[in-house]
């Protein structure tokens, strides 16, 4: 058995499950902030093994899911321009915008939309197409933003004048502060995203314990990671404690990643940001800093956000705020399926609705 296999060891998992069953005192409603945790819980079958009193809720940690309808409208505007090549990650292609239209439909209609696997590929695309403006669609959280920032640094060093970024990056801590301040949200504890925390460090969440008295655990994505974290949350709740604990020390340093943070803070500055289903959250986004505005597609190409109404009937916003489980949405599995998604939570591989559908849960 390799070291990694041990994080899925059935005997150790059974032992932790027994301890959770034995020590759970009352109900535990926890939010998994990261969409990858949501998928891991379903894929490993943990949801069917945990006590019924452990209720897990999704959070706003799926980057595609929180991309606002108005932001998608801007992407479609870009794709309609003859002198622009849009470069994007594949997950964004089917995210619905105004009238349910998406980038894949725009591409089918002749728009120049290129799927890339890295923002660095977008730089290469710009070098290969000097007569076009190549615009990379920058989404994601603190995990992705440093790489996009490094891409802009690369373009600056190369002297490129036809590479630009639309930055709709979002920051996790401000969003959590806004969500936890909602008096209608019933959450007892949180499992924090390992990837984001590897950049910003676990102390970025201390406000959850100090201001909201919420136990929180930073954890990995294997079954043992998740079960150990749930046991820690059960014990904190039973004891009336609220602490932020890092249980993913093999990947998350206490200080985060200072180099990545430095690059991110050089290229970007905090800004207000729109979150799908949540609305505007002050200071929860990243804009390109004035010193690098020649790479800012919004300024160079004169782009502005337009108001776009929510998709009729879609409850992705309630899912992202932990107020609704996907299978309670009237559209789930009927009008909304992975083959014909109405909302982004059914589109993304990290989406809660897609996970519920794929693993056919009856929760």
Q: Give me the residue spans of the domains in the chain.
A: 64-171+256-301
64-171+256-301 is classed in which CATH architecture? 3-Layer(aba) Sandwich (3.40)
The pLDDT value recorded for residue 3 is: 61
Instruction: Kindly state the DSSP code that residue 329 receives in the 8-state scheme.
Output: S
Q: Give one DSSP letter per residue of 37-64, joined into a string.
A: HHHHHHHTTHHHHS-TTEEEEEEEE-TT
What is the pTM for the complete model shown?
A: 0.93
The 8-class DSSP code of residue 259 comes to H
Q: Is residue 166 within 8 Å of residue 78, measured between CB atoms?
A: yes
Q: Is the dihedral of CA 92, 98, 100, 103 positive or negative?
A: negative
pLDDT of the residue at 363: 45
Tokens of 129: 């197409």
pLDDT value at residue 45 = 87
Distances 154 to 94, 147, 184, 294 between C-alpha atoms, Å? 29, 10, 45, 13
Q: Structure tokens of 325?
A: 């489980």
In tens digits, what is the pLDDT along the chain, a chain of 363 residues? Answer: 666 567 778 889 999 999 999 999 999 999 999 888 888 888 888 888 999 999 989 899 899 999 999 999 999 999 999 999 999 999 899 999 988 899 999 999 999 999 999 999 999 999 999 999 999 999 999 999 999 999 999 999 999 999 999 999 999 999 999 999 999 999 999 999 999 999 999 999 999 999 999 999 999 999 999 999 999 999 999 999 999 999 999 999 999 999 999 999 999 999 999 998 889 999 999 999 999 999 999 999 999 999 988 888 999 999 999 999 898 999 999 999 998 899 999 988 888 999 889 887 654
Rounded to an integer, what distance in angstroms lies between the CA atom of residue 195 and that of residue 227? 18
Q: Dump the DSSP string for 57-95.
A: EEEEE-TTTT--HHHHHHHHHHHT-TTEEEEE-GGGGG-
Q: How far apart are CA 22 and CA 80, in angstroms?
A: 59
| Helix, coil or strand: residue 275 | strand
- State the burial class of residue 143 (Cβ atoms within 10 Å of its Cβ: 0-12, 13-18, 19+): buried
Beta strands, E only, 116-172? 133-138, 163-167, 169-170
């Amino acid at each position: 058995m390799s070291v990694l296999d041990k994080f899925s060891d059935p005997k150790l998992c059974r032992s932790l499950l027994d301890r959770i069953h034995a020590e759970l005192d009352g109900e535990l409603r926890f939010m998994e902030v990261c969409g990858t945790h949501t998928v891991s819980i379903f894929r490993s079958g943990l949801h069917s093994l945990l006590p019924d009193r452990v209720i897990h809720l999704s959070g706003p940690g799926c980057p595609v899911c929180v991309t606002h309808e108005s932001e998608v409208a801007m992407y479609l505007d870009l794709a309609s321009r003859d002198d622009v090549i849009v470069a994007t990650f594949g997950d964004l292609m089917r995210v619905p915008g105004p009238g349910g239209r998406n980038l894949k439909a725009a591409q089918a209609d002749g728009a120049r939309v290129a799927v890339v696997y890295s923002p660095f590929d977008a730089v290469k695309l710009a070098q290969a197409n000097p007569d076009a403006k190549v615009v990379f669609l920058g989404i994601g959280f603190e995990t992705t933003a440093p790489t996009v920032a490094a891409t802009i640094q690369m373009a600056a060093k190369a002297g490129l004048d036809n590479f630009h970024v639309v930055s709709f990056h979002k920051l996790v801590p401000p969003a959590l502060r806004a969500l936890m301040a909602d008096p209608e949200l019933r959450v007892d504890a949180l499992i924090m995203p390992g990837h984001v925390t590897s950049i910003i460090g676990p102390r970025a969440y201390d406000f959850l314990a100090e201001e909201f008295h919420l136990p929180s655990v930073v954890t990995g994505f294997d079954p043992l990671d998740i079960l150990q974290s749930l046991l820690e949350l059960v014990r904190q709740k039973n004891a009336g404690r609220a602490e932020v604990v890092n249980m993913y020390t093999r990947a998350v340093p206490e200080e985060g990643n200072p180099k990545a943070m430095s690059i991110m803070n050089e290229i970007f500055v905090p800004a207000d940001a729109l979150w799908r289903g949540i609305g505007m959250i002050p200071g929860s986004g990243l804009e390109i800093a004035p010193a690098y505005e020649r790479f800012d597609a919004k300024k160079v190409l004169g782009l502005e956000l337009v108001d776009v109404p929510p998709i009729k009937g879609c409850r992705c916003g309630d899912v992202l705020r932990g107020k609704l489980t996907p299978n309670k949405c009237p559209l789930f599995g009927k009008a909304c399926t992975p083959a014909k998604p109405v909302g982004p939570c059914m589109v993304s591989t990290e989406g809660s609705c897609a996970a519920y559908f794929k693993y056919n849960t009856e929760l």
